[in-house]
A = this chain, B = another copy of it.
């Protein structure tokens, strides 16, 4: 009976971290194998290729967001500001890695034009995030306006993470979060 040193999910979680920190092309299969304590050859028992690994990482992100994060934006009894706060927190936990930035933004910029298999997943995820933001905004704005604001919010989020990375200053992203929460606060 062969021993199993790791599970696919463990690999996905660790590989996500490595990719976030080093980028797709700058991460080697050796790096990934080392991170999970396997040898390079063993790695291919779990994922047939580097590309397939990234696909499954993105799929797991999609699943995680759908299961645990999007619902935070749809909590009917919470006010918009609370939903915004919880949603941003949940989103950050899944998708943002300290110093490494946002796996989505990183992967879009580095690979969107190269791997159609990535692009489809990335659009699905980005759409999901936008719709969640839009739902929050609809407490205060028209549907059309909410849609626009939602997209802007995600854009600014990605930009804020980029700035945080460039200046090695996490408070840039924290300020962004505060701004977004305030925007939907109705201090009546």
Chain A interface residues (CB < 8 Å from chain B): 21-23, 25-26, 99-101, 105-106, 108-114, 119, 122-123, 126, 151-152, 154-160, 162-163, 165-167, 172, 176, 179
Look across to chain B and name the residue whose beta carbon is closest to the beta carbon of A101: B109
Look across to chain B and name the residue whose beta carbon is closest to the beta carbon of A118: B166
Whether A109 lies near B112 (C-beta < 8 A) is no
Whether A105 lies near B165 (C-beta < 8 A) is no
Contact of A155 (CB < 8 Å), options: B22, B25, B99, B159: B159
Whether B160 lies near A155 (C-beta < 8 A) is yes
- C-alpha spacing A176/B105, complex, angstroms: 18
Look across to chain B and name the residue whose beta carbon is closest to the beta carbon of A113: B99
- C-alpha spacing A7/B166, complex, angstroms: 31
Residues of B within 8 A of A165 (CB): 108-109, 112-113
Whether B105 lies near A109 (C-beta < 8 A) is yes
Residues of B within 8 A of A119 (CB): 166
Contact of A156 (CB < 8 Å), options: B22, B122, B159, B167: B159
Whether A162 lies near B105 (C-beta < 8 A) is yes
- C-alpha spacing A111/B100, complex, angstroms: 10
Whether B167 lies near A155 (C-beta < 8 A) is no
Closest 6 A/B residue pairs (Cβ): A155-B159, A25-B25, A158-B159, A159-B159, A25-B26, A156-B156
Look across to chain B and name the residue whose beta carbon is closest to the beta carbon of A26: B25
- C-alpha spacing A162/B23, complex, angstroms: 16
Residues of B within 8 A of A108 (CB): 162, 165-166
Contact of A110 (CB < 8 Å), options: B26, B123, B167: B26
